[in-house]
Amino acid sequence: MSPLKDISYIINELAEDRESYFNAIAPPIMQSSNFAFKSIAALRTAFEDEMGGYLYSRGLNPTGDILRKKLAALDQAEDCLVFGSGAAAIFAGVLANVKAGDHIVSVKSPYTWAQKMFDVILPRFGITTTYVDGTDTKNFEAALKPYTTLIYLESPNSWTFAIQDLKEVVALAKAHNIVTMIDNSYCTPIYQRPIALGIDLSMQTATKYISGHSDTLGGVLSGSHIMIKKIFDSEYLNVGSGISPFNAWLLLRGLRTLPARLERITVTTKKVLEFLKTHPKIDKVLFPLDASFPQYQLARTQMDGACGLMTITLKNGTMESITRFCESLRHFFIAVSWGGHESLVIPKCAGLLPGDFDKDNIEHQYIRIYTGLEEPTYLIDDLNQALNGI
């Protein structure tokens, strides 16, 4: 993939109108619900195209708009919408592309709340979903029905890092006139730009790397002007799940350091990975850009990088040894999420009752590690003492 051009310009200058706010470097938080008009005719124009200006902050807001324009440029998309969470962005992107009776083909084990939408909410409206192993594009083709309207991807998956061949899936979808949507949260547009590969809708949570400080939620949905305007005029305004001015401001602040943080985390991840791969208590380490990863070659062709998350398994891992390992870590918080300054650990078995743990199911043994911005040796020493203690 060609590296992202103009990244410094996008992050520092694009869409900022500093002369209009006292040449402040940091933009103001435009904490206003509504905007006034000089004439009824001007208000009427705003009603006709709410995306053309500022009317009411459930739609667009000046602080959110600076963020929106930067994120669209990073995604190399014509436009984007910023939501109050990644889950809200998924909801809007999917809902906009299905109607009663339609069918979705989704990669298996997508993000929890995408799956809950497919399994619990959409069936109430007669919309069905088929899950496929996305490591082979033929599986998508085999699952298509005459009434399939959406192919939903997540590449890489945030636990297994399984990836889909995006160019192949795009070619298949275009041949059948099907919309493609991807969860690009793991990579962010710094490391993967699905729109440039032909994907219609690229979604990412902004809660993770864009924020970078574990202090706000947000979500991004990028695509063509036509697709984004359609979603704005319907799902976005109707559900009212747009980003608030203050949270948009926090995300703008996070965005300033996104490339620097990813660069740092990438270096740390490699060091932690090399340490874990040689530790005698470790069975397997999963990381998409490690040469041992089954889809390493494909990952290299469509991703510019990978960092932060990796999944490990312990030799002869039991619920007890996994629990002891996680609880022995002194500098990794036991918590969901990732992308912040702080390192984290979460075992898959946290979502299982002890009786349901199957030691022969490798996924039950998964322990996901996120390396944050700490010193690599600080983290490695901690992992070492915890591993040696089990």
Nearer to ligand PLP, 115 or 328 (CB): 115
In the bound state with ligand PLP, the residue whose beta carbon lies nearer, of 205 and 380, is 205
Q: Which is nearer to ligand PLP, 132 or 387 (CB)?
A: 132
Q: Which is nearer to ligand PLP, 66 or 87 (CB)?
A: 87
Look up tokens 């192949």; give the residue: 168
Residue number, 149 or 188, with CB nearest to ligand PLP? 188
Q: Residue 264 corresponds to which tokens in the numbers above? A: 């740092």
Q: What distance lies between CA 207 and its chain's CA centroid?
A: 8
Pairing of strands 282-286, 367-370: unpaired
Strands lying side by side in the sheet with 103-107: 79-83, 219-223, 201-205, 179-183, 148-154, 103-107, 128-132
Q: Which residue has the tokens 């602040």?
A: 253
Which C-beta is closer to ligand PLP: that of 149 or that of 211? 211
Could you tell me the smallest distance in angstroms from the CB atom of residue 373 to ligand PLP? 18
State in angstroms the smallest separation of the CB of 171 from ligand PLP: 24
CB of 157 to ligand PLP, least distance (A): 8
By C-beta, is 55 or 306 nearer to ligand PLP? 306
Closer Cβ to ligand PLP, 46 or 206, answer by number:
206
Shortest CB 355 distance to ligand PLP, Å: 28
The nearest distance, CB 287 to ligand PLP, in angstroms, is: 16
Nearest residue by C-beta to ligand PLP? Answer: 86
Instruction: Identify the CA nearest to 37 among candidates 20, 56, 22, 63.
Output: 56
Determine how many CB atoms are found less than 10 A away from the CB of residue 83: 27
353: left (phi over 0), alpha (psi -120 to 50) or beta: beta
- Separation between Cα atoms, residue 268 and residue 380, nearest integer Å: 10
**Nearest approach, Cβ of 204 to ligand PLP (angstroms)?**
8
* Minimum CB–partner distance for residue 115 and ligand PLP (Å): 11
Asked whether 338 and 309 are in contact (CB, 8 A), the reply is yes
Nearest distance from C-beta of residue 24 to ligand PLP, angstroms: 28
Which residue pairs, CB below 8 angstroms and at least 24 apart, start in 314-321? 314/281, 314/282, 314/283, 314/365, 314/367, 314/387, 314/390, 315/280, 315/281, 315/282, 315/283, 316/283, 317/283, 317/359, 317/365, 317/367, 318/357, 318/359, 319/349, 319/352, 319/354, 319/357, 321/390
CB of 6 to ligand PLP, least distance (A): 26
- Closer residue to ligand PLP (CB): 103 or 208: 208
Residue with tokens 């520092």: 12
Binding site for ligand PLP (CB under 6 A): 85-87, 111, 158, 183, 185, 205, 207-208, 217, 219
Question: What is d(CA 147, CA 104) in angstroms, rounded to the nearest whole number?
Answer: 9
The length of the chain, given as a count of residues: 390
Q: How far is CA 177 from the centre of its chain?
A: 25
